[in-house]
Amino acid sequence: MKLLYEGKAKRLYETERPDELLMEFKDDATAFNGEKKAQFENKGRMNQALSLLLMQLLEKGGVPTHFVRTIDEIRTIVKAVEIIKVEVVVRNVAAGSLCNRTWFKEGEALKAPVVEYFLKDDDLGDPMINDDHIRELNLATLHELAFLKSEALKINDILKPFFLKTGLKLVDFKLEFGRLSTDPSTIILADEISPDTCRLWDVSTGEKMDKDRFRRDLGNVMESYAEVLKRAEDAVHS
Ligand code: TMP
Ligand code: ASP
């Protein structure tokens, strides 16, 4: 199969159908725009499993996603989309770059969710952009951007209580959306939702259970990913 795109954590291949792609999760982990690299056995498998579980939960909640069907533990068929080059971040608690850019201290609760946009461009280090930049760069229309924001907040309204049920605080997360190749006026959730793209803290201990364990050399990276997956699986089956 023809490789169409290789990102830091996934590969996308063509399929025999023009409206479908094959998405493959890799075991690679990167941080700080690829400056720090490692491989973690089973990361791809665990991220696919959690991402699928969450996307199925979102579909039930009325959020259309790119997921079509599973091929195996690291491969799924997804709808072909043109990715909108805006990374949408939703924050419930201050952490990460928000604390580096502002007066917020890590762990400070936000009164209401904060939505931020970043330009999806590795060469530029994914800089933060605003709605005017998005319009002027023709990344999305203001109508589409309003949809991205309301969809991101709806996703937060579904995921935040779900993770709370598992004893995890959803601190923040990053989403990517795409326009259907068969109907570009339809925008769906694409990419992944996993401990690579979310911050998740244990409610009782405050322990970080996400990629910050790798970014900050906290150890037990895959043990935490496995624990997040197990808790999420227990919660959907309960
Ligand atoms: P930030 O605090 O570094 O801006 O990250 C916000 C959220 O976005 C956090 O949950 C991690 C996620 N994220 C990605 O998924 N990919 C990225 O490249 C970056 C920088 C953050
Ligand atoms: N995914 C980004 C990178 O590789 C950044 C991050 O998640 O920290 O470098």
Please report the atom of ligand 1 found closest to the CA of residue 95: 2
Give the residue whose CA is nearest to atom 15 of ligand 1.
Answer: 197
Return the number of other C-beta atoms located less than 10 Å from residue 101's C-beta. 10
Q: How far apart are CA 55 and CA 65, in angstroms?
A: 7
Cβ burial of 215 (10 Å; 0-12, 13-18, 19+) is middle
Average pLDDT over residues 229-233: 98
Q: Measured from the CA of 97, which atom of ligand 1 is nearest?
A: 2
- 44 has a pLDDT exceeding 90: yes
Mean predicted confidence (pLDDT) in 116-129: 97
From residue 199, give the alpha-carbon distance in Å to each of 74, 111, 210.
22, 18, 6
Atom of ligand 1 lying closest to residue 210 CA: 10
CA–centroid distance, residue 197 to ligand 2 (Å):
9
**pLDDT at residue 162, as a whole number:** 98
Distance, CA of 192 to CA of 18 (rounded, Å)? 21
Q: Residue 237's pLDDT is what?
A: 92
Say how far apart CA 203 and CA 165 lie, in whole Å.
10
- pLDDT of amino acid 1: 86
Give the ligand whose atoms come closest to the C-alpha of residue 101.
1
Whole-number Å distance, alpha carbon 31 to ligand 2 midpoint, is 4
**CA 111 to chain centroid:** 23
Cβ 120 under 6 angstroms from ligand 2: no
Give per-residue pLDDT as tens, 186-202: 999 999 999 999 999 99
pLDDT of residue 238: 86
Residue 35 CA: which ligand is closest?
A: 2
Q: Please give the DSSP secondary-structure letter assigned to residue 104.
A: P
Rg (CA), the chain: 17
**Structure pTM?**
0.98
Pairing mode, if any, of strands 109-119 and 128-129? antiparallel
How far, in Å, is the centroid of ligand 2 from the Cα of 182? 30
- Ligand found nearest the CA of 94: 1
Pairing assessment for the beta strands 168-180 and 187-190 based on DSSP bridges: antiparallel
Average pLDDT, the chain: 98
- When pLDDT is cut at 50, 70 and 90, the band that residue 94 belongs to is very high
| Model pLDDT for residues 145-203, shown as the tens digit of each residue | 999 999 999 999 999 999 999 999 999 999 999 999 999 999 999 999 999 999 999 99
**Alpha carbon of 238 to ligand 2 centroid (Å):** 33
